[in-house]
Every structure is written in C-alpha cells, then in structure tokens.
A = this chain, B = another copy of it.
Amino acid sequence: MQVYTAPKLNKVKVTSDFWKRYRELVVKEVLPYQWKVMNDEANISIAEDPQNNGQDKNSHAVANLKIAAGEMKGHHYGFPFQDTDVYKWLEAAAYSFGYHPNPDLKKITDNLIDLIAKAQDDDGYLSTYFQIDAPERKFKRLQQSHELYTMGHYIEAGVAYYNATGNEKALDIAKRMADCIDRNFGLEEGKIPGYDGHPEIELALSRLYEVTQDKKYLDLAHYFLTQRGQDPAFFEKQIKKDGDSVDRDLIPGMRDFPREYYLAAEPIKDQKVPHGHAVRVVYLCTGMAYVARYTGDKDLLEACDRFWNDIVKRQMYITGNIGQTTTGEAFTYDYDLPNDTDYGETCASVGMSFFARQMLNIHAKGEYADVLEKELFNGALSGMSLDGKHFFYVNPLEADPAASKGNPGKSHVLTHRADWFGCACCPANLARLIASVDQYLYTENGETILSHQFIANEAEFDDGIKISQTNHFPWSGDIHYEIQNPNKASFKFGVRIPSWSANYDLKVNGENKTLPVKDGFIYLDVDSQSLTLDLKLDMSTKIMRANNRVSHDFGKVAVQRGPVVYAAEQADNQVPLWLYQVAPDAKTDYHFDEKLLDGVGVIKVDAKREKLDSDEANLYTEAKPVETETTELTMIPYYAWANRENGQMRVWLNE
C-alpha cells in the first residue's frame, strides 16, 4: 500500500485565529485547571452521571502515583484506570511545548516523569491500582483491569514527551512498560494468550515502534490485534480463575456487558460491523490502521475500511459524534441515530479523529479529512466550554433540561458542561487533540504533499519547501496558499476539496485554473520557486437532510455552513424549540458576531412557528389547520452551545 507520513514535529505552526485561541486556552486554562483537579486542589463538583462510580470531589490521580512511588501512604482511589488522566494531561502538555514553550510547566512535567519512573515497578509494570491494592491480581482480570490501556496511555505520553523535550527517561519508562507487556503476553508457553478489555495498547506500541524502530513493539501490537476474539471466552475464563464473585469485580456491572462490547466475540477480521463501546472501537481501529500500514496486513486494512465505512455511512451523527446509546457507551445498529438519547462521547470523537488521521496515512482520500474536520469543528470540540474549564462527556444533538431531569432514559444527557467526571477520560483527551492539531494538517510521501485542513498554518518540508496557508476559516472560505520552493523541487501539491463544497474557484498565481477532483483532492504540479494559490470554497449555508433510513431525522433538517454544524439554543429563541419549522429551501442569513461566544458566525433562518397550545387544552384533538407565525430562528455553531444559560438545544429542526 502507498504510505504517507505527517511532517516532522514542530515543522507546522498553526496561525489560525480560531485554533490559536483554543491552543492558548489549553496552555493558560485547561492544563493548569486539570493539573489542579488531578492534585485535588480545585474546588470542583463531579458530575453524578455518567460513570461517576460514587466519586466525590477528589480525582486522586496524582496521589495514586505518589502512593505507588512510596511518597505517600494510602489506598488507591477512583477507577482502575485513574492513572490515564495524568498521562493524557502529560501528553497534551508535551504537545503544547511545541507552540508555547513554558519552563514553569516543564518543571512540573519533568518532575512528573520522575514520579512516574519512581512509581514503575522494577519489571516495568505500572498500574497504581494493582501496585497499591491488589499486586497479586496483576494481569488476572483483563476484561476490567485496563492495565494495558493504562500503560498504553503512558506510552503515548512518554513518546510525545520524548519527542517534544528529548527527555530519555520518559521514553525509557515507556520501553520498560512495553518490554514488561511483551514478556507477559503472547502465544508462547507461559505467557498470557490474551489482550486488554479496552484496546489502546495497540496504537501506543505502534507509536513506540515509530520512535524506537524496534520491531518487537510492532509485532506485539500485531499480536494483540490478531489474537483478539480468537478465544471469545478468554475474559470469562480469567474471571473464573481470579475468583468468580461479583465482589471481586474491578468495575461493578462491567461483566454484564456482552463480548461484543469488548470487541472480543470473534476475531476482528470476521467482524462485519463495529459493535460495542464506541471508544474501544475507534481506538482499536486506530491501532489497526497503524499496524496495517507498517506490516501490510491486508485483513487489518480491510477491517479498517469496513468499520470506517459503516461508522461514517450508517452510525455517525451529523456532528461527527458516535455511540448511540448510554448502555455500554456503545454503537447500536445501522441508521439508528436518536438525537435525544444519544451518547456521542467526547472521547469517541477524539478517537475517531485518531482513526481518520491514520487512514490519511494510508490512503489519499478526502473523506478521511472530511470526517476529521467534522470532529474538529463539531463533535469533539463541543466537549469543552469556551472557558476551558467545563466539559461534556455526552454530546447530545437535542437537549432539554426538563427531559434530562424528568425522564430517566435521558439522565445521562447533561445540558451544561460539568466541572469534572468520576471517569475523567474526556477532558485531557480533547486537550491532547487540540494541542497536537498541527500534526493533522498535512501528509506527504516524497512525491506529494497533501493539505487536508483549512487551519491556517506555516509549514516546512524537505528540500526547503515552505507552505503557508492564511484564511479566516471556518467563517470564510477564502483560502490563500503561498508555496516557497527555493530549490525548485518537483512535487505534487494536493489540496482537499471538502465534500461540503460542491463548487470552488481556484486561482494559481492569480490565474483561474480548473483541476479535476480525484478522491477529494485537486493536485497541482509544482516545480517553480514560488507559487500562490487562491481557493474559494463554497461557504453558502446549507440546509441538510439525513438519509431517510434514519427514522429520527425524517421530516427534519439541519443547518450547516462549511464544516460547521449549527444548533438552535434557548438563549436565542423561544421555547419549545420544536415548534419552529424550517423549510428545506428556507432563506438564511449569515453574519459574524465577534462579541458573541468569543466570536462566532451566526445564522438566521426563516421559519414558521406554531402558537403554543394551552396547558389546559385537551391532549388529543382533531387535526385542524393550525395558527403559525412567520419568524426566524437564530442558530449558533454546535460546538459553542451551552456556554450561556441552561436551556433547550436542537440540531435537527422540524421541517
């Protein structure tokens, strides 16, 4: 297969106003806030749902490491995978150094590496729950233990930290972990012929392979992917051996999930559509894409293609959110996309971004970058408030505080972002995505440089090639590229034409040019010393519909402009919002409001609105022509909802 790579680290500088704001927010608010929380120094309240697990105001994540390192006394607190909050935070911090050097923060992270090294067992093992409270149960209940998941997250962080700072200790911890896992897992006599209940180690080992070029790590990742599901009863057998009593479960209720939840019901190559926990699916897919690229394993690549196709064509919300049910935070079935009970976990959108990025390293296809863009501007980004201190775990497409409070089937749908969660997987996951967004903008393969995203940047490539992209995206679709090619190198420059832009205009050095779109890209042959490219994307507001196999969206429309999906919020409109009706050809009006929500494009949509029936009227009456008024609906970008007063929100509007 043809293989692409991202530019080297720190060769892409994000200059986009939109993303600079978010990336600085990560440095100034998100990282300090999360560090405080993980050190139990923030005065927070933990959301009751989802996945609270009875936790109070404490995270205890750093304390667990200190106890494991012998610096504190006490018991482990929180989920068995509590350590990962720290590792994801560390990874985000590592990325931030690339665009915002920060000696104070670096002192903290260097010390943190020392603490982690101290917490690590001599044999490389590190999972504080087991080290502190259950050393005899290491690797014995992999369905629930998250040990490889936890170490995988450290390995990702260690690799990122080493790449960012050159800290050898950070990488060494990762290698020792991977070596420990390699000694314990595999089909050889005396090893555990299993894998973790939560995929993650596969992608982490691939990243370790990338930096070390030690094939052992790639082989181990490959083993985990192919061994998965070979013995569908593996987890149950382990549980039986470890002591079957429910009291010995590490996470209450987890054993009741079916094998599909863990992607362990059959080998991956036999799985037709993704089932189960959405985050597990996309982490697994990311690992598969990595390993397929490096090993050429066709079964894995086919599984990636198959899963991608099903998710994107049949199980993804228009915002990019995935996972339709709170039960197991899981996929349900094709075209089942309820808007008011969906899960759409922030982590799943972050993981989908990882998956998309890896697929871009395999195929030069615009659809991967389309989905990546959808996540970046919608489903993933909505996980964080504009102040960087409040987070969504669940991202609904339709919210009503009365429903979340009054109907238990919607109690998982928060209508305002929480300070923190018992299972705090999402906040730092989103932070590391934002802090590393520079790594998602280009791929190259020696002959071709592909520009995937319209996130303004300045990038350097081999042969002295420099590409700068300027724009006011996502509010404007005017994209300006300047290419400097001092050595007159000959290469193809591919620019993605997004699926939402049916039409576009292109000027090369000021001259109109028409180029064919191939798999979502236009390609320009470059061999001159410099070149400018002016791309005008179609930024007209689009009224969207869903495939009519989706019952929940039938007779409904959504509003999108560029990649940004819009939402109607109570703060701007009269409730109940369902009384607004928008025609498929409704007139729309767009303007940028720099004062609103830190600057957002606002769309007014012509609508009609039924008069609200009386509270004392009969519940059911003969259908008669109803009184409607002509009005307009004000819509804001979905990612920016729930930053004002608590209220109703909906993406899909009645037609």
B408 touches A619 (CB 8 A): no
Contacts of A624 in B (CB 8 A): 545, 584
Number of interface residues of A (CB under 8 A): 63
Q: Indicate if A493 sits at the interface (CB-CB under 8 A).
A: no
The answer to whether A576 touches B555, judged by C-beta atoms less than 8 angstroms apart, is no
Q: What is the CA–CA distance of A549 and B545 in the complex, to the nearest angstrom?
A: 24
Distance in Å: Cβ of A552 to nearest Cβ of chain B: 9
Within 8 Å of chain B (Cβ to Cβ): is A618? yes
Q: Does A313 contact B (CB under 8 A)?
A: yes
The answer to whether B408 touches A325, judged by C-beta atoms less than 8 angstroms apart, is yes
Q: Are A407 and B314 in contact (CB under 8 A)?
A: no
Q: How many copies does the complex hold?
A: 2
- Chain B residue numbers with a CB within 8 Å of A336 are 402-403, 406-407
A333-B402, A613-B549 given; A313·B618 CB < 8 A: yes
Within 8 A of B (CB), among A301-329: 312-314, 316, 318, 324-328
A612 at the interface (CB under 8 A from B): yes
Q: Which of B408, B548, B615, B626 contacts A610 (CB 8 A)?
A: B548
> Which residues does chain B contribute within 8 Å of A622, judged by CB atoms?
502, 542-545
Contact status A619-B403, CB under 8 Å: no
Closest CB in chain B relative to A621 CB, distance in Å: 6
- Complex-state Cα separation, A108 to B566, whole angstroms: 68
Is the beta-carbon distance between B325 and A547 smaller than 8 angstroms? no
| A554–B654 touching, CB < 8 Å | yes
CB of A454 to closest CB in B, whole Å: 20
Q: How far, in whole Å, are A491 and B551 apart by their CA atoms in the complex?
A: 56
CB distance from A583 to the nearest CB of B (A): 9
Interface 1/0 per residue, A80-96 and B, CB below 8 Å:
00000000000000000
A558 interface residue (CB < 8 Å to B): yes
- Tell me the chain A residues, 587-642 only, with Cβ under 8 Å from chain B: 610, 612-613, 615-626
CA distance A654 to B654 in the complex (A): 11
Residue pair B318, A620 in contact (C-beta under 8 Å)? yes
Chain B CB within 8 A of A437 CB? no
- The residue on B at minimum CB distance from A336 is B407
CB < 8 Å neighbour of A615 from B318, B549, B579, B623: B549
In the complex, chain A residues 543-569 whose Cβ is within 8 Å of any chain B Cβ: 543-551, 554-555, 557-558
Q: Which residues of B contact A314 (CB under 8 A)?
A: 619
Is residue A70 contacting chain B, with contact meaning CB distance below 8 A?
A: no
| B619–A316 touching, CB < 8 Å | yes
- Can you give 5 contacting A-B residue pairs, CB < 8 Å? A313-B618, A549-B576, A555-B581, A555-B654, A557-B623
- 9 closest pairs, A vs B, by CB? A333-B406, A327-B408, A584-B623, A545-B623, A332-B407, A551-B578, A547-B613, A543-B623, A548-B613
- Interface residues of chain A, those whose CB is within 8 Å of chain B, are 312-314, 316, 318, 324-328, 330, 332-333, 336, 338, 341, 400, 402-403, 405-409, 499, 502, 542-551, 554-555, 557-558, 576, 578-579, 581, 584-585, 610, 612-613, 615-626, 654-655
